[in-house]
Structure 1
Amino acid sequence: MSVSKDKRTSGNPVFAGWYADPESRIFAGKYWIYPTWSAPYAEQKHFDAFYSEDLVNWSKADRILQMSDITWAHQALWAPSPVERDGRYYYYFAANDIQSDAELGGIGVAVADRPEGPYRDALGQPLIDRFVHGAQPIDPHAFIDDDGNAYLYYGGWGHCNVVRLGEDMVSLTPFADGEVYKEVTPELFVEGPCMFKRDGRYYFMWSEGGWGGPDYSVAYAIADSPLGPFQREAKILAQDPNVATGAGHHGVLNIPGTDEWYIVYHRRPLTETDANHRVVCIDRMTFAAEGRIQPVCLTFEGAPARPLRND
């Protein structure tokens, strides 16, 4: 299903509809955005995805995973983070918004043979279903390092953990010291972790503030290891009173073969007051000479055309 065409830039929002918590990837020669369907919790029963060959013209893949296909999910689905390994796609997501270890829910994982799915629940139960180091099991973000080690960062309630994924991508494996869960919480962390690597350094990002308010924002740290320590550098994404509020919970895209980077995030239009009225946007992310991320400028133009080379 085509949702945009014949534009010079993507525009912001990138596509129509209330969506949030976007994860961004490059799979099978296309750009992909995997968001939460931004609705009241009781209505968040499915995931859609969007794909493009040039960042400008986007098409929609409907209902790539639905609550009816997950036996243990009953309240809400949100914050997906897929990753590819050995030709299969592993899709991590949050469900049920558990408030204690006595409740069923947490972080699940689904699997598919194509980036658009359909995805199927891989375990029949959550992958992470309890609070460890105070972190609510929500907002997963998958990251595969250059050495092949796969990590899952996650957390809410002001705490962030990282776990190491097994070779099957649907289990956890201990770190060298025997620990399974390592807390990596930086200053002012709230939720929405995100990791990327540039010039051999690890950039860890997260959301601050309340997701339903205007002050939602993104900050970052830089480390020499995927396990940190992560010392907060600065806030780089925040509301602009002339453009939008509540800018946060994001993913990152790097144009292959370049040092051109984009942040894919959600924000709330100035005309909206409903907490769930969020849209997905994309803007340029640049770096200072010493590697620090520059503050992101919120725009209505979005990204220019950047076709992917498939040779």
Structure 2
Amino acid sequence: MRNYYLLLLIAGIFMVQACKQNKQPVEEVKEMSGNPIFEGRYADPEGIIFDDKYWIYPTYSDLYEKQVFMDAFSSPDLVNWTKHERVIDTSGVKWVNRALWAPAILKKDDKYFLFFGGNDIQSDDEYGGIGVAVADKPEGPFKDHIGKPLIDKFYNGAQPIDQYVFKDKDGSYYIYYGGWRHCNVAKLNDDFTAIVPMEDGTMYKEVTPENYVEGPFMFIKNDKYYFLWSEGGWGGPNYKVAYAISDSPFGPFERIGTILEQEAGIATGAGHNSIIHEPKSDKWYMVYHRRPLTEKHRDDRETCIDEMFFDENGHIVPVKMTFEGVKSNPLK
């Protein structure tokens, strides 16, 4: 009997060892997004929530001649990201041959509309400007919506790039855009095929705030209009984000201060942001690009995310750039 129990003990030891050898490693649960949030050179990120996923649509950061497509990224929790390759490219937008830039996206009537800049036109004599594409799914494929640029001229001195499309409280849709230190707002028709006059008959109203360069963005909080933009040179270290608060979507937009800029030991060239508000947790996130300290080329930009806070007066607290990024925040 003693030998029987001894044999059982030895068999048990061998079984434990075998289980340890065959045990699969436990996958580490990622709790922070890290910065950058996904690999690759990407800039001008547009962040948004569609249904149960976060989405980011950035510019592919490279020489203008190589900027002929855009990728998108989706995540259920801000931490684990899936790449969707070439959601739009120049095969779907025939009039663009270079500099496919700075996407802005929204959902309307079960369709997804992606606004973009194309060709980096330098005068009214060149063909290009701001276009719009449409798809049935957020991952595309997006195809040209009107077969030509939506805005193809320099109105009020604003280069037609860096558009953001904003839905106002009354259901109207406005497009804010402009490079070359000028910013315009214009009203879109219901199917996003044309610019239509505003109530005062104006087609393109200039709303340029102090120090504005490019990259406008708008959101509403507590019935106030928060207007953000980028300052400085996008190819250098001093790129940054400033903002204003107004009672109207048409301004005036009086500059309050800088809320994102280069930080020693972190990165340079931080700018061209968008904002994601997750209403369930009431968390606000700034999605932006920056340049690693090890890189100097203008196109060496990466997409990052950090949390954004407000003080007791409703002012935006300057965003602190991190390498850690943000905590997991599942939408389900």
State the TM-score, normalizing by the size of structure 2: 0.90
Alignment of 1:241 with 2:259, yes or no, is no
Alignment of 1:220 with 2:243, yes or no, is yes
Q: Which residue of 1 aligns with 2:210?
A: 187
Q: Compare the two structures and name the one with the higher helix fraction.
A: 2
Give how far 1:272 is off.
0.5
**Percent identity between the two aligned chains:** 57
Q: Which residue of 2 aligns with 1:178?
A: 201
Give how far 1:146 is off.
2.5
Q: Which residue of 2 aligns with 1:164?
A: 187
Q: Which residue of 1 aligns with 2:172?
A: 149
Give how far 1:188 is off.
0.2
Give how far 1:169 is off.
1.8
Q: Which residue of 2 aligns with 1:95?
A: 118
Q: Which residue of 2 aligns with 1:260?
A: 283
**Between Structure 1 and Structure 2, how many residues are aligned?**
305
Q: Which residue of 1 aligns with 2:160?
A: 137
- SS state at 2:35 partner: coil
Distance 1:109 1:224 in 2: 29
Q: Which residue of 1 aligns with 2:20?
A: none
Alignment of 1:28 with 2:55, yes or no, is no
- SS state at 2:150 partner: coil
Farther-moved stretch of structure 1 (144-153 vs 241-250): 144-153
Distance 2:283 2:313 in 1: 16
Give 1:206's match in structure 2, choosing from 229, 245, 263: 229
Distance 1:228 1:247 in 2: 25
Larger Rg: 2
Distance 1:259 1:77 in 2: 33
Distance 2:297 2:272 in 1: 17
Distance 2:275 2:136 in 1: 23
Distance 2:29 2:305 in 1: 18
Q: Which residue of 2 aligns with 1:272?
A: 295
Distance 2:193 2:49 in 1: 21
Amino acid at match of 2:229: W
RMSD: 0.9
Distance 1:238 1:76 in 2: 25
Distance 1:100 1:76 in 2: 15
What do residues 176-230 of structure 1 show as CA deviations (whole Å, max 9, x unaligned)? 0111111000000000000011111000000000000000000000001111110
Q: Which residue of 1 aligns with 2:317?
A: 294
Give 1:114's match in structure 2, choosing from 137, 140, 151: 137
Distance 2:54 2:154 in 1: 34
Q: Which residue of 2 aligns with 1:7?
A: 30
Structure 1 unaligned regions, length at least 5: none
Q: Check whether the contact 1:6–1:57 (CA below 8 A) recurs between aligned residues.
A: no
State the TM-score, normalizing by the size of structure 1: 0.96
Give how far 1:257 is off.
3.0
Distance 1:6 1:239 in 2: 31
- SS state at 2:227 partner: strand
Relative distance call for 1:146 and 1:257 in structure 2 (3 A) is: farther
Amino acid at match of 1:230: F
